[in-house]
A and B are shown apart, each in its own frame.
Chain A
Amino acid sequence: MRIFDPHIHMTSRTTDDYQRMHDAGVRAVVEPAFWLGQPRTNIGSFLDYFDALLGWEPYRAAQYGIRHHCALALNPKEANDRRCAEVLAELPRYLLKDSVVAVGEVGYDSMTPEEERAFEAQLAMAAENDLPVLVHTPHRDKVAGSRRSLDVVKAAGMPPGRVLVDHLNEPTVGLVADSGCWMGFSIYPDTKMDPGRMVAILKEYGTARMLVNSAADWGRSDPLKTREVGDAMLAAGFGQDEVDQVLWHNPVAFYGQSGRLDLGTGSAGLDYAGNTIRRG
């Protein structure tokens, strides 16, 4: 089983996780920019973080045969802090980089005017850079937040086929299915979705425009949840082709719209670089 995890925060994971992910079939990931648990208070913290997503993290992934791309953005939560919002002025130069395949995560956290301004500004940046968009839906007031997110995307003139709306569940999947946007599901040990419920949604809505991710981060999460969904699909009677569509072809098709997806050998460029992270 080959797996493309379209939303995973590898910054928060250990190198052992890359090994386990490769063993489970993960060959490509997209890491969207998010908040780090501890709020940031200045632009420099964002720039170093973006640089890590463009430098250290793809290098680390490549040691384990995993291609790493990223989505960059000011996340909704930190858009509320004026000291952080100024990073929007720095973002355009980052969106030019080869391994940036989307703008994200953008959207709402508390549905404030500040979040909406950052959301709209970044939708415009995505259009200017011909990049698709990864939209985070809020934990609180999820249905209203998801509906409003779809309205903002539509008002911005963004074609629905270039938008992935993430962290969906039973109450929100229908809205997004009707919108024409791609549908993302985060499979967690306790919160959001679990593999059994995910399979039920796939049975009801089909496998088109459906993406499954582990969203593994610094919280209680598991980077192998994508594989669990693949196994659960097979156990529930889905065919290999349908598993491959959800876990590989759909994310490739979505992020491939950037024209920057490179699913080559997974080598870091030096065949003598060894297969471990050295502490020089």
Chain B
Amino acid sequence: MEADHGAVHLLFPQAERRGGTGARRALLAALHADEATIRTLYERGDTGERLTILTALPELGLGAAAIPLVEDALRTNDARLVAAALGPYGARWLDDHAFRQGVLKCVFMEIPLASVSGLDRRTDAELTRMLSDYATERRAAGRPVPHDILERI
């Protein structure tokens, strides 16, 4: 990989199949914060590859540069990707609006709020209002309000 910069694109998709658990993460670490390559790996990745990248982001030394990848994951309808987008990296770098929308999306997708990184630190009056309005909507429809919402409003 050091000698051939294209090699990672061949290795990354099949890394876990051939190299076992953790092989993809090791490849990412060996890229030394090469943001363009990591972005291409994400864009060309299947769900498993994207999940590995999203969860590894805090260790890759990219600063805020990988936020477009997190935003892409938040636009999907896959609970695994949305949950991974709201890991430590998303909690550190997402702006307030995007973070609140991400939290609400977790509520709709039944992803427990306990899995959202930095939620206590990032919760503000606006997010509390949004959760409270959600609870009102649920009650109006005669549906139960999830416990993890009730304890935050």
Contact = CB atoms under 8 A, between A and B. Distances in A.
Interface of A: 51, 54-56, 58-59, 93, 96-99, 259-260, 268-270, 272-274, 277-280
Contact of A58 (B9, B47, B82): B47
A269 B77 CA distance: 14
Interface stretch (B10-18, B56-64, B118-126, B131-139): B10-18
A260 B17 contact: yes
A96 B9 CA distance: 10
A59 B47 contact: yes
A55 B46 contact: yes
B27 interface: no
Contact of B13 (A98, A268, A278): A98
B79 A270 contact: yes
A96 B10 contact: yes
Given A98-B48, A269-B51, 19 more contacts: A54-B46, A55-B46, A55-B78, A56-B76, A56-B77, A58-B47, A93-B44, A97-B46, A98-B16, A98-B17, A98-B46, A268-B78, A268-B80, A269-B80, A272-B110, A272-B111, A273-B109, A278-B108, A280-B82
B74 to A, nearest CB: 9
B68 to A, nearest CB: 17
A173 B9 CA distance: 41
Interface of B: 9-10, 13-14, 16-17, 44, 46-48, 51, 76-80, 82-83, 105, 108-112
B14 A278 contact: no
B16 A280 contact: no
A96 B13 contact: yes
Nearest to B48: A98
A118 B45 CA distance: 25
A277 B78 CA distance: 9
Question: Which one of B13, B47, B76 has the greatest number of beta carbons of chain A within 10 Å?
Answer: B47
A55 B47 CA distance: 6
B13 A97 contact: yes
Contacts of B10: 93, 96
A54 to B, nearest CB: 4
A277 B79 CA distance: 10
A272 B107 CA distance: 12
Contacts of A269: 51, 80
Contacts of B105: 280
17 contacts: A58-B47, A59-B80, A93-B9, A96-B14, A97-B46, A98-B16, A98-B48, A260-B17, A270-B83, A270-B111, A272-B110, A273-B79, A273-B80, A273-B111, A278-B77, A278-B79, A278-B108
A270 B80 contact: yes
Nearest to B105: A280
Contacts of A273: 79-80, 109-111
A279 B137 CA distance: 16
A245 to B, nearest CB: 28
A59 B109 contact: no
A55 B17 CA distance: 17
B81 to A, nearest CB: 9
Question: Which one of A97, A259, A272, A280 has the greatest number of beta carbons of chain B within 10 Å?
Answer: A280
